[in-house]
Amino acid sequence: MNLQKLEKKSWIAVIFFLILSTAVVSAALYKRNEIKQCPLTDSMETSLYETKFNIDSRQTDADGNVLIRGWFVEEGAVYPFYNFGWGQAGSGVYNNFHLAALNEGTVVEFPTLLSKRDDVTAGINDGTDYKYSGFSASIPASYQSLISANGLYILSGSPSGQQRLYLIMSGGAFDEQ
């Protein structure tokens, strides 16, 4: 009898753990995929690096949402780090950027998925590994008029939290594609 009760309690604990884990993962994914807004600051508009980028494709779905794919790099921008697993210091690119738009002193940041692009590293060939310089982002149809008026930007962040804003497509160019 006690063994059956223990087995039943174990299953209840496992089921509870699975439900809790699912809730945590769902909350994290929801948070990652929301459109964020932050105030535009003067420091965001200061370009620290030469940039290179390309819009590889732009597709509009049946609902009018625009899926944009491409790549973006801040040329030669590397940051020091310490890898505790390797037990040594190094330096590398800090891939933290999102597609964005401007709205009356506010930066609207769209969820952006980074992807591996070995071709970019090979093409630039400056000794820096720009491995995760690829991106894809879906821009909701409701934001297209904002981008048409003000352009499409990349909001790039550094490990210290400093953010920079780079214009990658004017509003007119966004409308033409």
Q: What is the pLDDT of residues 70-110, one digit of tens each?
A: 999 998 888 888 888 888 888 888 888 999 999 998 999 99
Own/partner contacts of 144-147, CB < 8 Å, gap of 24 or more, are 144/64, 144/66, 144/174, 146/101, 146/102, 146/103, 146/108, 147/101, 147/171, 147/174
DSSP 91: E
Tell me how far the alpha carbon of residue 170 is from its chain's centroid: 20
Distance of CA 45 to CAs 1, 31, 125, 134, 156, Å? 71, 26, 27, 22, 11
pTM beyond 0.85, yes or no = no
- Number of helical H runs and strand E runs in the chain: 4, 11
Q: Could you read off the pLDDT of 26-84 as tens digits, one per residue?
A: 555 555 568 888 888 888 877 778 889 999 999 999 999 999 999 999 988 888 888 88
Residue 67 CA to residue 147 CA, distance in Å, equals 14
Torsion, CA 48, CA 52, CA 58, CA 64, rounded to 10: 10
Amino acid in the structure at residue 37 = Q
